[in-house]
Amino acid sequence: MEKRRKIILDCDPGHDDAIAILLAGQIRYFDLLAITTCAGNQTIDKTSRNAFNVARYLGFGCPIAKGATLPLVQELTTCPSVHGESGLDGFDFPNYKYDFSPLNGADLIIKTLLDNEDVTVVTTGPMTNLALALRLEPKIKEHIREVIFMGGTTDYGNVSPAAEFNILVDPEACYIVLHSGLKVKMVGLNVTRKALVNKEIIAKVRAIGNTASRMVGDLLDVFLENQIKTFGIKEAPLHDPVTIASMIDESCVTFKPYNVDVDISHGPSYGRTNVDMFDYLKQEKNCFVAIDIDSEKFWNVVLDGIKEFN
Closest to 245 (Cα-Cα) out of 301, 189, 190: 301
Burial class (CB in 10 A: 0-12, 13-18, 19+), 243: buried
Residues 176, 74: Cα–Cα separation, whole Å? 15
Q: What angle do CA 110, 115, 116 make, to 5 degrees?
A: 100
Phi and psi (nearest 5°) for 139? Answer: -60, -20
CB atoms within 10 A of CB 274: 16
Closest to 156 (Cα-Cα) out of 287, 275, 272, 279: 272
Q: Are 245 and 184 in contact (CB under 8 A)?
A: no
Peptide bond into 209 cis (omega under 30): no
Rg of the chain's alpha carbons, rounded to an integer? Answer: 18
Let me know if 12 is a catalytic residue: yes
Closest to 243 (Cα-Cα) out of 158, 146, 121, 150: 150
Q: Are 21 and 268 in contact (CB under 8 A)?
A: no
Cα–Cα distances in Å, from 111 out to 136, 140, 177? 11, 9, 18
Per annotation, catalytic residue among 12, 17, 170, 263: 12
- Active-site positions read 12
